[in-house]
Each structure stands twice: as C-alpha cells, then as structure tokens.
Amino acid sequence: MIILYAVIAIIALLAAIMAINTIYKKPVKEAARNLESLELDKRKIAQHLSGMIKIKTITAATVEECDKKAFKGFHKYLEKTYPLVHKTLEYETVNDFSLLYKWPGSGSAKKPFLMMAHMDVVPVDERTKDKWKYGAFSGEIADGYVWGRGAIDMKGQLASVMESVEYLIAEGFTPKRDIYIALGHDEESMGLYGAQATAALLEKRDIHFDFILDEGGVVMDGKVIGANVMAATIGICEKGYADIRLTAQSKGGHASRPPKQTAVGEIAKAIIALEKKQMKASLNEPLRHMLSAVGGYMKFPLNVIAANLFITKPLLLKGLAAKPTSAALVRTTAAPTMLKGSTASNVLAEKAEAVVNFRISPDNTVSELMAHIKKTIANDDIKIEIIQAYEPSRVSDTQSEAYRVISGTVKSIFGEYVVSPYPMIAATDSRWYTKVSDGTYLFQPFSSLSEDLGTIHAVGERLAIDSLAQGVEFFIRLVKNADE
C-alpha cells in the first residue's frame, strides 16, 4: 500500500506541476500601440514593384549564363526609380550583377547592419504559363495586388527596402551607424556568385555587422502547430541543405529478359527506404523558442503538452512529425526530386540515378546525414555522392539587442500577431554571411503572405498592395529603431 500511495502522490504532484506550468505560461495580451501614420503613396510604390517584375531577371547557375541585358537593365531601373538612394549611398557591383550599397552614418559606436534581398527570380514553367490570371511578367496591378513572378520572392521585399531608404532620405534622416544593403543576383541558384562573393568582399574589408535581416519568416496561421493564433515568425536559423545523388549500375540489355534486380529497381528500393525511415525528430533550440512564444495559445491538451516538455516532449515530437508541414520543423527531411534511367522504354538501364534533396535539422550535421543514408540504404552497390551540401546555420540569439529591435518593430506593425522565433526550413543568401555578422534574422513583413505563400515559385504569384506598403513602413521603422 505504501508503494501505491507513493505512486499516487507522485502522479498528483506531477499533475499539479503541469497545471501550474500551463497557467503560468498562459499568454498575456499586450496593449495595442498607436503609431504616427506615415504618408506613403501606395499606388506609386505598387507601380515601382510592377516595373521590377516586368524585367525578366531569371536566375542563372553561372555568371556567364546570366542575362546581362536584364540585370543591367534592372540596375538602371533602380537608379531611375530611387534617385536619392543613388545620390546619397555609395554603391558598387559584385561579380557584374550583384549590388552592394553603403549608407554612411554620421558617427556611432554601434556596428553597421545589413538589409538583404535578391533580384533574381525562378523561371516560369512553360506548361503552366497559360494558367496565370495575369501574365507572369506583366507586373499587372489589379484586384488589390501586384501580380507576377518575383512579387513575393523577392522583389516585393527589395522594393520595400529601397522605398524605405528613399523615403527616409527625402525626410532628411541620416543614420548614426552605417547601414548596408546587399542585393544578390543568383539566390535561386544557391548564391554562389552573388552573395558568397559579396560576403567574401565584406570579410576582406573587415566589415562586421551587428545583425543581418533577410527573407524567411512570415506571418502565418499558428494552426500549423496547433496554436489558435496568427503568428509573425522571425527566422533565427536555417536548416542545412544537401543534394545527394544515388547511382546504381547493371549490365543493361533488352527489357524482355530482365534480371532479378535492375538498376532502376535498386534505386527505387533505396528511395523507398529513405522515405520510410526518416532521421529522428528532435526538439531543436529554435523550435523551443517558438513553442515558448506560441504554446500558450494552443488548445487543450496541446497547451499542457507545450508547457510541460520535461515530461511531454516525446508526445509532442510524435504529433508534430505526423504532418508534413510541422514535421519539417522537427527533423531532417528527404525529398526525392530527380530520376534518370534508360533512354528507351524497352531497354534496361545500364545506369540509374536519383537525386534526393535533404533539409538538415539544426540538431543534425552533413556527416550524420551521410551516415544515415548509408545505413538506411544498406546497399554497397549504390554509389552515394554529395552534389552540394551546407551545414545548418548558427542559431541567432533571441536575447540580443538586435532581436529586440527587430521583434519590437514587427510588433509595432503587426500588433494583432504573436511575434515568435522560428526555425527557417528553406535556404537564403544570408547563410553566406555568417562570418561577418553577430546574428542573422529572417522576416518578410507582408500580412497577405498568410494567404498567398503557396504562390511562391508557382502560378499566380502576387503581393497585396496594402501589404507592400506594410513592408515599406516596416523597414522605415526598423532603420529608425535600430539607430536609437
């Protein structure tokens, strides 16, 4: 009986602790902030973005393949559209097509900070171009939106940055600290010749930033992780990236006399194994920060689970890993994307290949991923080759002054949203700048992304005109707040 009583007492104590934790972590709504209204010409700003979209700055894998006319034309468009920026700021090209601007400060002990964007866009699939309501490169302004490839990714943010600086200069504002703007030209092709070269140049000049702000976190529906709230998420790290090629070989021959196992069959088995046996889910640091911010908004029993991770972590991980969107937050993902076999339907492939794209969790490394692939496939006859791979980025500090400034600015613009750190699941140019910055933060200040995020790289990409103006206001206030 004593043992039974002890067990009951322990259970009761744990239940009490969990109840107290849940109540303690219940969110307290902040009072809305009244900001002075800014005089922004929304129509003019939309027209400027429209003009950018019309210039077909399609990404290229090398400098030689870059459309010189398009990118140089884009440079000229920026000079014409933002005359005060180009009169006041120092600027230069990097590897012919990327742009680097410096806004000299009047004098401050603070380190400079960097705002980033990229000029290039992904191509439009010819098979779907007729499905666009408005032409993919029309830059049409209609129905309250600016339409076209790059509206969100990421000429909308590029326009917001440039508009904000033009506005501030016209207002007579001069920053105390130096401010930089970096515009890449090949982000969609991994940034090897744009961002990487720009970051190397800055490192060579011994320029080190307090913080960097690039694309990434968005305004999103918290229901993705079971929270009954809209969240403005600030990325504090990026998952790693790896393209892995799997190759199997066989003698080939006529398809009428297939062997017991073909090269294509070997590759198929390997892919099935990788999809079936995923890497272990984990509660990484950025996700912990996110749950701390939004966990109190979860409905029962999720709020109890989020508030008591010392007991409930396995249950939470199992729940998040069950859905594709939330699974990307807790583990390394595997996505087979390319397959290659025989050149004819009746010929056995002498060589079969597959490319699998992995996004590596902050709790994993490239070497751990390779070990997992080898163990999972368990076939020494399949060659495993790294095409390209990058480690997860450093997790930026959420207690820093830079994060306080950025999150405070986000809150001032998106007062009705919960501001939360976020583990960025995709890749951006900012990963190249780790050596030249104390912290990297990722955010796109457009409320309409909560509905239109699925149009990125897809048919019907668009950005709401009101959201575009939000973005301009965000960067205006960020520059001022970071200068205090």
pLDDT tens column, 245-296: 999 998 888 888 888 889 999 999 999 999 999 999 999 999 888 888 887 7
Q: What is the pLDDT of residue 26?
A: 58
Q: What is the pLDDT of residue 25?
A: 54
Q: Which residues are catalytic?
A: 120, 187
Q: What is the pLDDT of residue 27?
A: 60
Q: What is the pLDDT of residue 255?
A: 82
* Element containing residue 220 per DSSP (H, E): strand 219-221
* Element containing residue 352 per DSSP (H, E): strand 351-360
pLDDT at 21 over 60: no
pTM of structure? 0.89
What string of DSSP letters covers 303-347? HHHHH-HHHHHHHHHHHHHTSHHHHHHHS-EEEEEEEE--SSTTE
Cα distances from 255 to residues 259, 345, 353, in angstroms, run 9, 8, 18
Q: What is the pLDDT of residue 39?
A: 86
Residue 197 DSSP class: H
Q: What share of the chain is helix, strand, coil (3-state, %, to 5)?
A: 40, 20, 35
Residue 328 to residue 110: CA distance in whole angstroms = 36
CA 376 from centre of chain: 29
Residue in the block written with tokens 């806004």: 103
Q: What's the whole-number mean pLDDT along residues 198-226?
A: 92
Q: What is the pLDDT of residue 14?
A: 41
Q: In the numeric block, which tokens belong to residue 230? A: 């809209």
Q: What is the pLDDT of residue 204?
A: 98
Q: List beta partners, residue 118.
A: 184
> Residue 152's pLDDT band (boundaries 50, 70, 90)?
very high
pLDDT in tens, 38-58: 889 999 999 999 999 999 999
Helices (H) and strands (E) in the chain, counts: 15, 18
Cα distances from 117 to residues 120, 162, 214, 429, in angstroms, run 9, 10, 6, 8
pLDDT at 16 over 80: no
**Residues in contact with 290: Cβ distance below 8 Å, sequence separation at least 6, in sequence order:** 225, 233, 329, 420, 421, 422, 423
